[in-house]
Amino acid sequence: MDRWYKIDNTGKVFHAVADDSNSSVYRVAIIMKTCVNPQVLQEALDQVTKRFPTLAVKPRKGVFWDFLEENDEPLFVQEEKQYPCSPINPKNNNDYLVRVLYYQHRISVEIFHSLTDGYGAIEFLKSLIYQYLILQGEELTDVHGVLSPNVASNKYETEDGFKKYFQSDRQPQSHEQAETALQIKGTPFDPPGVNVIHGVMQASKVNQFAKQLGCSVTELISAILIHAIYTETMKSGRYNEKIIIALPVNLRQQFPSLTLRNFFSVINVGSYVNDETTLENILETVSNQLRMKTTKEALQIEIDRYVQLQKRLSAKLTPLHLKYLAMRYGFYHFGERAKTTTISNLGNLKLPESMKPHVERMEVVFYPTRKSPINCGICTLNNKLTITFARSIFETDIIKSFFTQLVNLTGQDIEISSNEWGEKI
């Protein structure tokens, strides 16, 4: 009998809100030192896929909730021809909500966000790259930190972290009234698509600069991006709107869990900006908000609130389409309208030392949406910090301003590259 899984608390939202302007598909990728061999990559994928049972699934329609069922069909690697993070049509992908792509030196994994978060995607990518190198004949002497396809998954990897840490005895807290954030305007690509712009810098020097300012890299980049957004939008006379950055937070850092499903929260940081506001002012505000909102107590409140909401929506007599309507309303009013852009920082990728000589760097592409047409992904590998902007509009002024300010502040060189979709920076 095939195994099946309930969609986790966060994953249900992505099933509800995904459409042509919001694919809910993100990408993690590693740039190899040599060109990718697609035949070997396919063999590696065949061996790794079943190690991740919550990814080797197909969506199924239910009366009260959709669910995920074990998928026994092969998952085929594909040469990259579309723009990044394009919608995944399961019917064209053997019913999978995961896509594995190759292009020259790049191996990419694209995942519909209902299956897992950045942590789960990285674990899958690490295992895939490891097995690919083994099949290439490379001698990898250590496996620490890599989930081997020869070891079966365990129940802790498939647990729902939200349910595990939900405190049912806590008094429910109402959601604060969502603020309306400044929305980035622009001219949508025609035909629609996603342009990505990568900026690569030496991670240690950026970290050192942030440390001198008494902040984290995430806080520094958030502050510079807020300043860049203000600098470019003030030209059109939009002065009185709050610029808000949405930051996904890995809950495993405060609530230990091995789950490979979604286990993250999103916090908003930002401020009103005017001609008197300095970058230092913005940085102080962002740092204070981020540290206050990522305490264990604050994140516990978010876990409890989210599970309580799901419990209310799970009333047995409520049809699925009505639940999805409620979730879409919440997403657009408490999510999309309450942020200007998203920055997703997946941190420093930990690889076995024997793997590092074979890989160059990593990339994270976080899909844009209608209300958030420019989003940012950050990651570090081999001392290379890669900042990637994904955009669905022609205008690049904000991105240019961001990179210019970052270079001027840190004094570091930055290598810029882009795909072929839309206009380059």
Q: Which of 370, 406, 368 is nearest to 390 (CA)?
A: 368
Give pTM, 2 decimals.
0.94
Chain mean position to CA 362? 13
Q: Where in the chain is the domain with CATH 3.30.559.10?
A: 4-148
Its sign, for the CA torsion 221, 341, 230, 242, is negative
pLDDT at 63: 59
Q: What is the pLDDT of residues 313-327, one digit of tens each?
A: 665 556 766 777 777
Q: Which two tokens stand for residue 80?
A: 């990259």
Q: Where in the chain is the domain with CATH 3.30.559.30?
A: 195-418
Cβ–Cβ < 8 Å for 195, 418? yes
CATH number of 4-148: 3.30.559.10
Backbone torsions φ then ψ of 147, nearest 5 degrees: -80, 110
Residue ranges of the chain with pLDDT lower than 70?
A: 1-2, 9, 62-65, 170-178, 238, 313-318, 320-321, 333, 422-425
Q: Which CATH class is domain 195-418?
A: alpha beta
Q: What is the pLDDT of residues 374-391, one digit of tens each?
A: 999 999 999 999 999 999
